Structure 1
Amino acid sequence: MIKNEKIKASEVQVTGLQGEDLGVMSTKDALALAKKLKVDLVCTSLMSSPPPCKLIGAGSAKQEALQEKQQARKQEQGPKVKELRLTANIEDHDLETKRQQAERILKGGDAVLLVVKISGKEGAKAKELLERLVKELGSHGKKHTGIQLSGKQAAVQLDPL
């Protein structure tokens, strides 16, 4: 991030504090304007001629650059898979709580793995429970895998829409 006196171009395209276009002006004039308004002149790109610059409040320039870095890193990583564990004999209130958690995770952009622990002959009940949850969460996510019954658990993964 290049700002204030470190900008070497002779002319810059200046954008004001509220995003208004102030036009092309000499770097000295732009710096004088920034000093008068008690803000920083920040160069947003060196790839064009004249380089576009913004008038930004002192602390917000660093914060804006930090937010852009975090966004880029988040997009680079892709969605995470978060696991929610249930039992086949879950109470209605607890099931509603788990559904809300799953909904929140899907809205946040992460995938949800719903896992139901099975003991004894609860396989059919667990599958029924997962089908119900998938149907209720249909507006927020779609099935990535079918319902998988294996040994002591049943699982299904939902990806965000």
Structure 2
Amino acid sequence: MQELDHHDKKLLSLLQQNNRLTAEELGEAVHLSASAVQRRLKRLRDDQVIQADVSIVSPLAAGMRIMCIVDIILQDGGSRELGKFKSAMRDCEEVMQCYFVTGTYDFVLVVNVRDMEHYEAFSTRWLMDNPNVKHFYTHVVMDRVKTGYNLKL
């Protein structure tokens, strides 16, 4: 991966705020031609510096009224069991984010559900009925104070 220069960093900062800006608009902002911006963006995507171009959908608009943070301790932390759990979480539509972490817990999940009945069904299927889940602790989010992925460049 190439080192990011000041033009790359400025482009990435602008795109983190609005990825619908045109190459012409970006070029004006960073003092490059539209074709130079397009070449840079292609390189940044090819190098996986830009990992995705997405639209972030409001969980409320999708009917997901409750967000939970779930801390999980596994019974068996061997590589095979860790791999099985990671794979299961990748397949679970309620899990928005899954982190394998150090410390007291093995995993931290961010889960979106419609209501508590939906969370109960999720936790029964994916956690309670999983023989390798030793304990899990649920934190129901009361307020999304800050969410985002913008990196300071």
TM-score (norm 2): 0.23
- The structure with the larger Rg is 1
Which protein has greater RCO, CA pairs closer than 8 Å, 6+ apart?
2
Q: TM-score, normalised by structure 1?
A: 0.22
